[in-house]
Structure 1
Amino acid sequence: MKLFTRYNIILLLISIFGLALIGYLFYKTQTFYLDKQIDHDMVEEVMEVKEYAEKNIFYEPHEFEDLIVQYKSISNLQKHPVIIYGDTVLYNPVKHQTERARYLRTELSLIGKPYQVMVIASKVEREEQIKSICLIILLPVILLVGVLLLVNRIMIRNLWKPFEKLIENITAFNLSQEKPFEPVDTSISEFRTLNDAVVSLSKKIRTDYQEIKLFTENASHEMMTPLAVINSKLDMMLQSSDLGSEGGETLAELYRATSRLTKLNQSLLLLVKIDNSLLKDQEQLDIKELIEDKISYFQELIQKRGLQLKTNLEEASIFSSHQLMDILINNLFSNVIRHNYERGNIEISLTSHKLSFKNTGHNKALDPEKIFERFYKDNASEGTGLGLSILKQICLKQNFNLEYHYETDLHVFTITF
C-alpha cells in the first residue's frame, strides 16, 4: 500500500469517527435542552392547573396540543410535595399512534381535595426539529469534510509526484548503461535533499563499478597471457623425450592445474559479463536448430563414451541472446556428458515452452538448494564448480525458470521459457 493512500485512509477513518462523535454529542446536547424546555413548559401547565382550580375547574388541554393532564385522587398530601420528571410513552388519539413523551408528576390540593397530577407532553415535534437542526448543521459539515479530503488527496498526490519520479528514475538506473542518473527538479526541500543524495550516490556507484569492471577485465586479460605461455611450455615439456616418469607425472599435474585455472578464469569472466548484462545480442532463435547443432558438435564425444542419446524435439522459438543461449545449451550438454558414466543415458526433450536434459550419473540426488551455488560440486568432480552457476545466471537474466530434480536414476534439469 502506498504511503499517501494509507495516510488518506487513516485521515478518512478519523474524519468519519470525528463526525459520528460530534453528531452524537450534538444530538444528545439538543435532546437534553429539549427535555429542559419541555419540563419548563410542563411546569407552566401545572401553574395553569392551579389557576383553574381556584375557579373550581379542572384544567383540560386543547385537543390540538400534544399534551395530557391526568388527575388521581389521593388520601393526603406529602408534607413537602416534590416534582418528578421522566420519560414515558403517549398515545395520541388524534394521530392514532404511540409517541415518545416527557412527564411531570406532583401532588396538589385542587378544589379542597388532594390530587396527584401528571402532565404528559409529546416530544415528537421537538425531536423532529432537533433532527432538522442536526441535518442542517451536519450536512454542510460532512460536505466540507468531503471537499477537504478530496483537496487533501489531490494536494498530496501533487506533492508526492517528485518522489514518485525519483523512485522511477532509481528503478530505471542501470550501471551497465552510459546514461547517468536523471535528477528530479522539485521545490520541496526534503525531496531536493534526497535527490541530491541519490545523484551523489549514483555517481560514486558508477565510478566504483567502472573501476571494478576495468580491473576485472584487465586482470582476466593479463592472466590469460601467462597462463597460455605456461600451458604452451608445459605442453612442449610433456612432449620432450628427456623426461623421466616422475618428472612427466609432475608436469602432467601442473598442466592439469593450469588448464583448470584457465577454465576458472574464463568462467569467472563470463559470469561478470552475464551479471552486468554485457551480452545483449537479442534476436529470434530457433532452439531446436541450436540443439541439433550441439548434438552434431558433441557427437564424437558421445560415441566415444558409448552414451545412449534419446531426443524428442518440437519446434520452439524464443527472443533471446544468441550468445547466452549458445552458452546455456553448451553447458547443459557438457554437464550431462561429463557427469555421466560409460554407456549411460541422455534424454533431451523440447516443447514450445520447456527444455529438459536428463542423464544418468555416478551420484544419487544432489541438493537442489545448493546445486546452483558458485563453486558447489561433489568431491569426484574435476570441474570448476561454476557451470551450473552460469546456467542459473543466464536463466535469471533471460527470465527463464531453472529447476533440478532426481527421478528414476536420472538427474533432470528443466528450463521453462
Structure 2
Amino acid sequence: MKLLNHTTKYFALLLIVLISVWAVIFYFAMLDEVYDSLDDGLENQKQLIIRAVKDNPDLLQDTEFGVNNYTIKNTHVGTHTNLKDSYRDTLMYMQNEDEYEPIRMLESTFQQEGKYYKIKLITSMVEEDDQIENLFKYLVGLYLALILSIVVLNNLVMKKVWKPFYTLIDRLKGFRIEKDDPIKSEQTAIDEFNLLNQSVERLTEKSRDSYIAQKEFIENAAHELQTPLAIAINKLELLLEKNQLSGSQTHEVGGVLDNLTRLTRLNKSLLLLSKIDNKQYLEEEYLDMNTFVTEVANDFLDFTTHKNISLNVITNATVHYTMNADLAVIMITNLIKNAIIHGDAGKEVTITIDANEISIKNYGKEKALDANSLFTRFKKVSSDSRSTGLGLAISKAITDKYLLQLKYSFTDQHNFMVIFPSSS
C-alpha cells in the first residue's frame, strides 16, 4: 500500500470516530435546543391565553383539545398549591397521519376570579426516528465528502509535496552498485527531504567506494597469488624433469605439486564466486541453452571414455534464457563434470532437456546426499583431495543470480535439476 493511501486509511478511521462522537453530542444538543424552543413557545402561548381569558371568560369553556390546541378545566387549590409549570412528552392521535405522533405538552395552573383552573397546551414536535434518520443521512454525506476531499487533496496537493521522495525511491530502484552511476538528488524546499537525499547520497557513495575497494582487493589478491603459484608449479615441474631425485623425493615433490595445483584452482574458484556475488558479470544475452549443453557434453567425451561412462543428451524441448554466456557455460560444466566424476564406471550419465528444465542424472552412491549442505561452499561429496568443494556452490550462486532453481533429488540415480521460470 502506498504511503498516501496508508495515510488516507487512518484519516478515514479517525473521521469515523470523530463524526460518530460529534453526531451523538450534536443530536443531544439539538434536542435540547428544540425542547427549549418548544417550551418557550408553549410558555408564551400560555401567557396569551390567560390574558385572553380575562378579557373573554367564555374561553374557559374550552375543555377539549380542538383548533386552539389547549384545554382549561376547573381544579382544586389544594392539589396545585405550587402553581408550577410542568412539561412532558406524550402521544396524540393525528387525523392527517392516521396514527399517534409525539407532542410536547405544558400543564399549568392559573387563578381567575377566585377560582383555579388547570390549563394544558400542546404543540407538535419532530419525530425522533425521523430526526435520527435524517441526521444519519447527512452525516454519511458529510463523511463521504470529507473522504473524497482527502483523496483529492492527496492526489493533487500531497502527491506534489511528496514528489521528491518518490523520485528518490525510483532512483534507488535503478541504482546498481556495480555501475558507475551514483545517485544525484534534486534540491527541494522541504528540509526533511533534503536531509534524506543527502543521507542517501552519502550512504550509496560510501557503499560504492567500499564495493570498488573490495573488488580491487580481491582481483589484486587473486592476481598476486596466481603469479607465485604459477612460478612454484613451473619450478617443481622442472625439478621433476631433471630426474635427479630419488623415488621418495619425487613422491614428495609430486604431492606438493598437486597441492599447489589445487590451490590454483581454489584461487580461481573463489575469485569467480566473488565476481558473481559482486555482480561483475553484467553482459547478458538471450541464449539457446540446448546449444550450450550439447557443446559442453561434447567437450567431456574424452573424459567419459577414459572413465568408461556413456554420456547421453536427450532433447525434449528447446530452452532459452537471458543470462551471461560465460556463467551459463560454467554452470552447465560444473554440473556435468560433477555427474561424471562421481558416476560409476560402466554406467551412464543422462542429460535431459525438457520445457523449462535441464536434468542431469548419474549412478553413484546408493544413498541420497545431504540436500541441506550439498550446495554449501567447501562441502565435498567425495574424499578426492583434488576437489575444491566449490563446483556446486558456484552453480548455485549462478542460478540464484538469475532467479533459477537448482534442486537435487535421489531415486535410483542422483538427479540435479536446473529449473527455469515458465515465463522465460
TM-score with structure 2 length normalisation?
0.83
- Which of 336, 342, 345 is residue 342 of structure 1 equivalent to? 345
1:169 is matched with 171
Aligned residues, how many? 415
Q: Secondary structure of 1:170's partner?
A: helix
Q: Secondary structure of 2:313's partner?
A: strand
1:319 equivalent to 2:322? Answer yes
2:272 is matched with 270
1:105-138, CA deviations, whole angstroms, 9 ceiling, x for partnerless residues? 5677899998876544321389989999999999
Report which stretch shifted further, 276-285 or 74-83. Answer: 74-83
Aligned pairs for 1:17-416 within 5 A = 17-46=17-46, 52=53, 54-55=57-58, 56-63=60-67, 67=69, 69=71, 77-80=79-82, 83-105=85-107, 118-124=120-126, 143=145, 146-147=148-149, 150-314=152-316, 315-362=318-365, 364-378=367-381, 380-382=383-385, 383-416=387-420
Q: CA deviation at 1:239?
A: 4.2
Cα distance in 2, alignment partners of residues 38 and 158 from structure 1: 53
Cα distance in 2, alignment partners of residues 158 and 146 from structure 1: 18
Contact 1:48-1:59 at 8 Å conserved across structures: no
Structure-2 change in CA distance of 1:174 and 1:132 (3 Å) = closer
Contact 1:216-1:269 at 8 Å conserved across structures: yes
Cα distance in 2, alignment partners of residues 122 and 184 from structure 1: 68
Residue identity matched to 1:151: L
Residue identity matched to 2:202: S
Contact 1:308-1:343 at 8 Å conserved across structures: yes
Q: Secondary structure of 1:77's partner?
A: helix
Q: CA deviation at 1:261?
A: 0.5
1:45-104, CA deviations, whole angstroms, 9 ceiling, x for partnerless residues? 5556656495441255554x7x46597989972554654433333321133233222234
Q: Secondary structure of 2:79's partner?
A: coil
Cα distance in 1, alignment partners of residues 139 and 391 from structure 2: 76
Contact 2:358-2:419 at 8 Å conserved across structures: yes
Cα distance in 1, alignment partners of residues 361 and 224 from structure 2: 38
Contact 1:23-1:138 at 8 Å conserved across structures: no
Cα distance in 1, alignment partners of residues 106 and 195 from structure 2: 72
Contact 2:8-2:150 at 8 Å conserved across structures: no
Contact 1:31-1:130 at 8 Å conserved across structures: no
Structure-2 change in CA distance of 1:167 and 1:82 (3 Å) = same
Q: Secondary structure of 2:62's partner?
A: coil
Q: CA deviation at 1:162?
A: 0.7
Contact 2:404-2:418 at 8 Å conserved across structures: no
Cα distance in 2, alignment partners of residues 161 and 194 from structure 1: 13
Q: CA deviation at 1:235?
A: 2.5
1:15 equivalent to 2:11? Answer no
Cα distance in 2, alignment partners of residues 318 and 256 from structure 1: 38
Residue identity matched to 2:293: I
Cα distance in 1, alignment partners of residues 135 and 238 from structure 2: 108
Structure-2 change in CA distance of 1:334 and 1:379 (3 Å) = closer
Report which stretch shifted further, 45-54 or 404-413. Answer: 45-54
Structure-2 change in CA distance of 1:134 and 1:348 (3 Å) = closer
Residue identity matched to 2:15: S
1:331-355, CA deviations, whole angstroms, 9 ceiling, x for partnerless residues? 1111111222333442211123111
Structure 2 alignment gaps of length 5 or more: none
Structure-2 change in CA distance of 1:116 and 1:253 (3 Å) = farther
Q: CA RMSD in A?
A: 3.7
Q: Secondary structure of 1:124's partner?
A: coil
Contact 1:281-1:321 at 8 Å conserved across structures: yes
Report which stretch shifted further, 319-328 or 206-215. Answer: 206-215
Q: CA deviation at 1:159?
A: 1.5
Q: CA deviation at 1:213?
A: 1.6
TM-score with structure 1 length normalisation?
0.84
